[in-house]
Chains A and B, each alone.
Chain A
């Protein structure tokens, strides 16, 4: 009555039955044929890729009495006793529940005894990464020079946890995830043999979901059969996995591209109501956005999709700006990583969607003229920061420097003026914060212009005009050259996100004077300080500054 799990029934018994891992099989076969089987192997790789299976087959193969190329034959007495688990010569150890040094000592003691019926005594140590350090160390000598009749096959999913001294004593084989095509072929084969009817699309979804772990795939197939009988449909698989239909994901991405927050939220909620798992939905969306990103970067060929889908993806990819797409991917990745269960999974997803769509709807119009409130920029505390615009704005604005000695000066900061009539905060703010990036961008295009700019600083900026201060008339002349100015305007427009014209203005002061002046202004420095700014925002007032040097 207790039907064995499908994945156990289908555990390969010979090398031929193993799916994938041909690089390992070839090596092992050759070793068997030439009689050069090593005394210790380490099988490492992700779950469900065949480590334990191959270890068991190999255990039989080395002991099989048939001709070398037919090993393991599965028929000789040794093969059978090994396969049935009644041989004394195959010792399979669960290292994860026997982690201690005592377990290893016990093993070492018994290694000395010759095998009872087979040629070799084989130790399969599974989940070997869980052995304690003393246990590993106790094993070292035995693993290095075991008695001639002993073989060790270690298997683990986490090879990085194995001490180097163990690694160097084993031949190591890295198992790879099983490719989707192999997996689909194998699942189809199982279905045919077991008499299940399965839609190809259903099989493919199972294969994709398993992500290279064959056990996951077969286990899922088993579950499908238990769930809906021997007819396996795509809809069934989707409902058990909680994945959304591909069409729904496409629509969700479309909402994203259009910046349609409400539509996206509605779709998410409908999907979740219909039993879609929030986490699956995020992952599917990410997969989809990744396709868009690949297409945008000319790697559409990597996608494994039909021509029709590909062309639809391409149209969509054209309609979203690469930067916005990357940001959306980041947001959703973050949502996918939050470790929450289904109920709370929906919330990160919704939040990511809102933020991504907001981001999109903002990008085209860029800096906000007339946009309500200062909360328009991405900065978290987006309240008017009083000082930043006035730093580059030059001499007249700066109050007379206070004496640099230990003095206390009373200075009242009036609630910061929202904007200074001619200057709009947004762009200057941007320019100051992005000055470095701007310089770098210019440098990339033209080193000379970059060099000239080093002696400039942002002076003033309005919505569509930026004035840069220059110290020397020579620099001004050089920069006013049409070509150079064009380049600057170009880069600047891109940096700020809106078209800008550039002007240059010669300052009466020398560079040294300017530099010397700036740090001498304690009030300025104080108001620049993020802590002070935050305090002012919450209604604090600067009543005095005490210098302390």
Chain B
């Protein structure tokens, strides 16, 4: 069987199964006309999608037959520069203007960034006009290669009419068209959309794999391991954090905030809530991190310490676990989660935080 010949690898960290699926499809000519890459933020969906596009549009026949991009031809270069006439990349907020700086910053801004974006802007969406443009695009034959590729990043940002408008195209596009969609969660898309695509799950990447990649980038093994662990499998976050010290220091600040709240008596907690509510844009990240912390405390208390994400917090977590019952911790976690949900639904940040802080157990 053809699929047994070893193929050159993709320059992608982790995601072996997904890469294998895409690469095999390309090499064996089993391509579907639409793929849906599903995974948590910053796990590498767009990265995988772009590389796949590059491999699809690569002009080197030999490389393509092995399911990779040669990386040298004009096609590859243009894909990297995002100037390829047969590739269309659509991102909800970039709106198509893709200066690379913004792209990097956007992919690395921490897990919460995507979510806060989602929340901050019910306004940020992909509109039906964009879909119509895609349809117009796809009605033309490719200029250069054999294919036209559309990469629709964050398809969950399609608004209702846009998503519906895409359905027919997604079902029966012209033979040369290939659509790549990415989404955090297939359930946020219409079932009719999902059913028209091949779903490719991108799971969080194992910690050692990320650590390896970081070491290859020149991090010390200790740092690499710590970062990989903290990333929770999100490659993009880990790479970004390795480059950008701010990201880490922000994380430390957030966790210090948590410790401060826990130490404070009720009245002071109110003051802290007021202080933190002044920066509502940080709250989604903050709450996400805190949820992770409470989860870690819960795991520690239950005796499953080996799966803790925030390993640098060990002493604090141990302390929390010793002093509080599983039930108290579960309640704190639930309250934190609920607050995050409420904030996403536009609750008053200060009130929400006050309620949350008062519900947390005393130190």
Contacts and interface: CB of A to CB of B under 8 A. Distances in A.
Contact of B1 (A5, A216, A230): A230
A342 B203 contact: yes
Given A94-B167, A97-B128, A358 B40 contact: no
Interface string A1-19: 1111100100000000000
A342 B359 CA distance: 28
Given A226-B198, A354-B302, A358-B327, A240 B21 contact: yes
B135 to A, nearest CB: 6
Interface stretch (B88-96, B247-255, B330-338): B330-338
A69 B212 CA distance: 67
A96 B165 contact: yes
Contacts of A358: 326-327, 330
B32 A375 contact: no
Would you call the interface of chain B mostly helix, strand, loop, or mixed? helix
B164 A96 contact: yes
Of B175, B302, B337, which is in contact with the most chain A CB atoms at under 10 Å from its CB? Answer: B302
B191 A46 contact: yes
B20 to A, nearest CB: 7
B223 interface: no
Nearest to A219: B198
B358 A341 contact: no
B206 A273 contact: yes
Contacts of B28: 226
Contact of B266 (A2, A272, A375, A539): A539
Contacts of B327: 358, 375-376
Contacts of B204: 272, 342-343
Interface stretch (B73-81, B98-106, B182-190, B274-282): B182-190
Most buried by B among A48, A129, A225, A351: A351
Contacts of B111: 343
A341 B38 contact: yes
Contacts, number: 194
A491 B60 CA distance: 80
Contacts of A225: 30
A248 to B, nearest CB: 16
Contacts of A231: 1
A161 to B, nearest CB: 10
B146 interface: yes
A540 B185 CA distance: 46
A4 B178 CA distance: 11
A343 B234 contact: yes
Contact of A97 (B131, B194, B203, B267): B131
Contact of A215 (B29, B176, B195, B291): B195
B195 A342 contact: no
B322 interface: no
A341 B185 contact: yes
B17 A240 contact: yes
A183 to B, nearest CB: 13
B1 A97 contact: no
A96 B168 contact: yes
Interface stretch (A139-147, A260-268, A396-404): A260-268
Contacts of A97: 128, 131-132, 135, 164-166, 168-169
B302 A375 contact: no
B157 interface: no
B21 to A, nearest CB: 5
B33 interface: yes
Contact of B304 (A157, A262, A340): A262
16 contacts: A2-B29, A2-B147, A46-B191, A94-B168, A97-B135, A99-B128, A129-B164, A220-B198, A223-B32, A227-B21, A229-B1, A269-B304, A339-B185, A347-B333, A350-B295, A354-B302
Given A229-B2, A269-B299, A351-B334, 19 more contacts: A1-B29, A47-B195, A94-B167, A127-B167, A127-B168, A213-B195, A219-B32, A223-B21, A226-B21, A226-B25, A226-B30, A226-B31, A226-B32, A242-B203, A341-B185, A342-B38, A343-B40, A343-B43, A375-B327
